[in-house]
Amino acid sequence: MHELSLMEAVRDQALAAANADGAIRIVAIRLRVGEQAGVEVGALRFAFPVVMAGTIAAGAELGIELEPAECHCAVCQAPFPAPQGCCDCPRCGTISRRLLRGRDLRLLSLEVE
Ligand SMILES: [Zn+2]
């Protein structure tokens, strides 16, 4: 499962940050997930307690914020919302394949003790 390895990367990053802070426990982890990141939020939530078990982040709360996807139209020189991935510009109809945002998963913030 792809979400499991993504969550492992989040865990490593969170543990490193908490460690640098001298934290003894991670209470909450917030992630931002792009609409077009190709991950399932349900699978992330499922993977979370599995990968956090046995670390200082065990039992932490998981917050997920969805980031809307946006494409760039080269004709209009402007972005437009693209919830289904790159598609045609609502203003001029040109098909854009440049996804500006909404395609990654990143660690937004940590709450530590
Ligand atoms: Zn356009």
The model's pLDDT over 37-93, given as tens digits with 9 standing for 90+, comes to: 999 999 999 999 999 999 999 999 999 999 999 999 999 999 999 988 888 999 999
Distance CA 100, CA 14 (A): 26
Between the CA of 88 and the centroid of ligand 1 the distance, in Å, is 8
> Quick check: 47 and 3 in contact, CB under 8 A?
yes
How many angstroms is it from 90 CA to the middle of ligand 1?
A: 7
Ligand 1 centroid distance, CA of 52 (Å): 44
Residue 25 Cα distances to 21, 39, 51, 95, 104, angstroms? 11, 27, 15, 47, 26
pLDDT of the residue at 29: 98
Neighbours of ion ligand 1 (CB under 5 A): 73, 75-76, 89, 91-92, 94
Domains of the chain and any CATH numbers: 2-68+102-112 (3.30.2320.50)
Q: How many CB atoms are located within 10 Å of the residue 110 CB? A: 19
